């Protein structure tokens, strides 16, 4: 590779320069403080682990396995994975490292790495921040998680105009079980729902058991009242289906009560990570953005691989995405060179006030600090900060 190209970064990876890095870091601190105020305890997880821990080697995590970078450990000869998601690591902590009884609440923030971008124009190395709640399978736990997610986005001042989508995989899953569909048919249906391909869905479901119900699920995915009117009595009386439907309705009512100004939509066939989630799913979208600002859901039993299956719900977001397009000029004060005691005291006072002060070196002048915004000058016997 020519020397002129050695500075180039891989696709989907970027430097974060000071004007944006300060915004990101400020948000990281504020959001972690916010999560701490809600009782979520911070954990740090390793950037690399044995692949068995990161991917969980199960059908439910096939997508995660595909986006995980893998390398050979030079010490053990075993396969390692660079974390592509921190949830499996927190599940390991809950199951093995800190297996407390009762409800456990955790939060985290750290860089993850993906083999491919997960959304259009997204980073392959997002700064993932999230929160998870283990040990409670109630609707109240899901409502708390959604409430925390919305509060966190509010901390980022990104709540204006956003839209919350709610769904529940139990509706589709219970219908699949009642119809006795094979895995391939189930996958084909899931793909049609994801593409919102109603004409194809209508044709595909004609010869299926409960075909009209599968079609109604897609046709009226955003209108629960219309959906109930078009479903068969047999499906509506199915216990699992009713439990999922009631959970969705209850969650909608409670979130509307807590966030009355929020736009909330229903999509019962939003089946992203369908095999991974086990109940309610939720995502927050901003105007003119295809990828969600934050997303999450229920994933009961995730710790089973580590020997301790527990109810779990949580969400995550990319802090870079939350800060997209936000930049902040860094105010920097330049002080003259010298050892005068009053000068050193003025510099110390400014720094104690949280201001950034650079003292010139040698014979340097202001031109040596091209990004300076203010200077410390001696005026009428006192040191004063003046805008440049």
* pLDDT tens track for 36-85: 999 999 999 999 999 887 655 444 567 788 889 999 999 999 999 999 99
Answer whether 314's CB lies under 8 Å from 133's CB. Answer: yes
Helices 169-179 and 183-195, interaxial angle, to 10°?
Answer: 140
CA pair distance 218, 204, nearest whole angstrom = 12
Size (the chain), residues: 388
CATH number 3.30.930.10 given to 8-159+286-330? yes
The CA angle 259-260-264, to the nearest 5 degrees, is 75
CATH 3.30.930.10 maps onto the chain at 8-159+286-330, 163-269
For the chain, list the strands marked E by DSSP. Answer: 41-42, 48-50, 70-72, 79-82, 104-111, 127-134, 163-168, 263-266, 280-285, 294-298, 312-318, 332-335, 356-359, 374-379, 382-387
Answer whether 307's CB lies under 8 Å from 128's CB. Answer: no
Other Cβ atoms less than 10 A from the Cβ of 238: the count is 20
Residue 2: pLDDT above 60? no
* 3-state class (DSSP) for residue 89: helix
Residue 4: pLDDT above 80? no
Q: Residue 100 has what pLDDT?
A: 85
| pLDDT tens per residue across span 75-129 | 999 999 999 999 989 999 998 888 888 999 999 999 999 999 887 778 899 999 9
Residue 172: pLDDT above 70? yes
CA pair distance 55, 31, nearest whole angstrom = 27
Q: Residue 242 has what pLDDT?
A: 97
Binding site listing for L-histidine: 85-87, 128, 132, 272
CA pair distance 327, 215, nearest whole angstrom = 47
Binding site listing: 85-87, 128, 132, 272
Angstrom CA distances, 307 to 58, 64, 100, 301, 304, stand at 14, 20, 14, 10, 5
CA pair distance 270, 231, nearest whole angstrom = 18
Q: Which residue has the tokens 């209850």?
A: 250
CA pair distance 323, 127, nearest whole angstrom = 11
Q: Residue 142 has what pLDDT?
A: 97
pTM of this structure? 0.89
CATH no., domain 163-269: 3.30.930.10
Burial class for 255, CB neighbours closer than 10 Å (0-12, 13-18, 19+): buried
Q: Closest Cα to residue 310, out of 302, 319, 318?
A: 302
Residue 218: pLDDT above 80? yes
Answer whether 155's CB lies under 8 Å from 30's CB. Answer: yes
């Amino acid at each position: 590779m020519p020397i002129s190209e050695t500075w180039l970064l891989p696709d989907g990876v970027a430097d974060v320069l000071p004007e944006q890095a300060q915004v990101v870091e400020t948000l990281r601190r504020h959001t972690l403080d916010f999560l701490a105020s809600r009782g979520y305890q911070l954990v740090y997880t390793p950037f690399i682990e044995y692949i068995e821990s990161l991917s969980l080697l199960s059908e439910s995590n096939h997508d995660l396995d595909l986006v995980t970078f893998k390398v050979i450990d030079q010490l053990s000869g075993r396969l390692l994975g660079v974390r592509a998601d921190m949830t499996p690591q927190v599940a390991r902590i809950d199951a093995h490292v800190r297996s407390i009884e009762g409800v456990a609440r955790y939060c985290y923030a750290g860089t993850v790495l993906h083999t491919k971008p997960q959304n259009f124009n997204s980073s392959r190395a997002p700064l993932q921040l999230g929160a998870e709640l283990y040990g409670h399978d109630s609707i109240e736990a899901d409502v708390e998680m959604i409430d925390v997610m919305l509060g966190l986005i509010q901390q980022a001042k990104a709540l204006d105009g956003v839209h919350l989508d709610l769904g529940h995989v139990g509706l589709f899953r219970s219908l699949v079980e009642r119809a006795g569909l094979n895995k391939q048919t189930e996958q084909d249906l899931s793909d049609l729902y994801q593409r919102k391909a109603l004409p194809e869905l209508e044709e595909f479901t004609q010869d299926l058991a409960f075909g009209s119900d599968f079609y109604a699920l897609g046709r009226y995915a955003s209108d629960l009242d219309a959906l109930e009117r078009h479903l068969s009595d047999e499906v509506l009386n199915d216990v699992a289906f009713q439990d999922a439907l009631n959970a969705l309705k209850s969650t909608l009512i409670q979130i509307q009560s807590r966030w009355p100004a929020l736009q909330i939509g229903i999509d019962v066939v939003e089946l992203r990570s369908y095999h991974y989630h086990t109940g309610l799913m939720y995502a927050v979208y901003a105007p003119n953005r295809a990828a969600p600002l934050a997303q999450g859901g229920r994933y009961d039993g995730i710790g089973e691989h580590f020997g301790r299956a527990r109810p779990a719900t949580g969400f995550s977001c990319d802090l870079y995405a939350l800060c997209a397009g936000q930049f902040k000029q860094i105010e920097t004060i330049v002080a003259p060179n010298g050892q005068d005691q009053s000068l050193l005291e003025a510099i110390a006072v400014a720094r104690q006030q949280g201001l950034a002060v650079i003292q010139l070196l040698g014979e340097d002048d202001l031109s040596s600090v091209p990004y300076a915004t203010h200077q410390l000058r001696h005026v009428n016997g006192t040191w004063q900060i003046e805008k440049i």
